[in-house]
């Protein structure tokens, strides 16, 4: 078995996933980085960032919605490292087009929920089984999982309903996995980012700049991927060992309800 703990991160090449990969490498994890393709410029540039932090980098190509390949990918990680200590289910996509819920297409709905909900749930299911087996072999292991959801899990956006539905479903999935895996000694957490500067939000920067200036975010700025990564690193470090099932919203105060 690998001497160092191993973190598996989906959607690792860009944005929040990329920031999490470097943050966990800094915390001493070797990184199994999953993205749709391993030969993208983003993935290729992440490798030296992780290596320079003293961690091993293992790139894996997988569209998380292709559930028939999940077992193969998990086997590759096990063959390479012999362990999986931490799963970050981060991969996500936006709708094909922002359109009114009354105009939402089945194509967009199926694409978004396939990547944002169905894929992560079945990948977590398979990883959970592997973690249970590993704990049977190595009782001192403390594996854990994080699901990256969104403030859209609890806020309505009528022009991207499929995204909100997918994140709300993933939020409840986190609770169900936390409930089931607590008896196995495996903690599960939800990290819920607010309005975050990533490629996904690049098309709506002007809109959110205006809303933030008008007070939408009490702390008055965008979340950055590194803000989310700090929260995940804290969980990975064991700071919240007695808090399985917790929702960590990192949104600059958007969770505050005020008059």
The gap from C-alpha 9 to its chain's centroid, in whole angstroms, comes to 7
CA distance 176 to 56: 32
For each of the chain's 259 residues, which pLDDT tens digit applies?
899 999 999 999 999 999 999 999 999 999 999 999 999 999 999 999 999 999 999 999 999 999 999 999 999 999 999 999 999 999 999 998 899 999 999 999 999 999 999 999 999 999 999 999 999 999 999 999 999 999 999 999 999 999 999 999 999 999 999 999 999 999 999 999 999 999 888 888 999 999 999 999 999 999 999 999 999 999 999 999 999 999 999 999 999 988 8
pLDDT for 126 equals 98
Burial of 66 (0-12, 13-18, 19+ CB in 10 A): middle
| CB contact at 8 A, 176 and 256 | no
| DSSP sequence for the chain | --SS-EEEEES-SSHHHHHHHHHHHHTT-EEEEEES-SSSHHHHHHHHHHHTTT--EEEEE--TT-GGGHHHHHHHHHHHHS---EEEE------SS---GGG--HHHHHHHHIIIIIHHHHHHHHHHHHHHHHHHH-TT---EEEEE--GGGTS--TT-HHHHHHHHHHHHHHHHHHHHHGGGT-EEEEEEE-SB-SGGGGGGHHHHHHHHHTTSSTT-S-B-HHHHHHHHHHHHTTTTTT-TT-EEEESSSTT----
| CB contact at 8 A, 182 and 244 | yes
Closest by CA to 229, choosing from 6, 27, 4, is: 27
Domain 6-249, CATH? 3.40.50.720
Phi/psi at 101 (nearest 5 deg)? -55, -30
Domain boundaries in the chain? Answer: 6-249
Q: What is the pTM of this model?
A: 0.96
CA distance 216 to 245: 27
CA distance 41 to 34: 14
pLDDT for 15 equals 96
pLDDT for 193 equals 98
pLDDT for 1 equals 87
Helices 119-137 and 70-81 pack at an angle, to 10 degrees, of 30
What is the number of alpha carbons within 13 Å of residue 56 lying toward its C-beta?
13
């Amino acid at each position: 078995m690998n001497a160092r703990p191993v973190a598996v991160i989906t959607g690792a090449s860009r944005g929040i996933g990329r920031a999490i990969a470097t943050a966990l490498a800094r915390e001493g994890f070797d990184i199994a980085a999953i993205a749709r393709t391993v030969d993208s410029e983003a993935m290729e540039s992440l490798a030296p960032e992780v290596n320079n932090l003293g961690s091993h980098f293992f790139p894996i190509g997988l569209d998380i919605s292709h559930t028939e390949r999940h077992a193969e990918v998990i086997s590759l990680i096990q063959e390479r490292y012999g362990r999986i200590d931490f799963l970050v289910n981060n991969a996500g996509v936006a709708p094909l087009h922002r359109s009114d819920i009354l105009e939402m297409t089945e194509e967009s709905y199926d694409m978004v929920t396939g990547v944002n909900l169905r894929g992560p749930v079945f990948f977590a299911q398979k990883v959970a089984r592997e973690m249970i087996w590993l704990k049977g072999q190595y009782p001192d292991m403390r594996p854990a999982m994080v699901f990256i959801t969104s403030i859209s899990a609890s806020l309505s956006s009528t022009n991207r309903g499929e995204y909100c539905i997918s994140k709300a479903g993933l939020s409840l999935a986190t609770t169900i996995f936390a409930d089931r895996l607590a008896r196995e000694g495996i903690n599960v957490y939800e990290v819920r980012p607010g309005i975050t500067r990533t490629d996904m939000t690049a098309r709506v920067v002007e809109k959110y700049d205006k809303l933030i200036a008008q007070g939408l975010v009490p702390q008055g700025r965008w979340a950055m991927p590194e803000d989310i990564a700090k929260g995940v690193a804290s969980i990975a470090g064991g700071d919240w060992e007695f808090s399985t099932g917790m929702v960590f919203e990192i949104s600059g105060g958007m969770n505050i309800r005020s008059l």
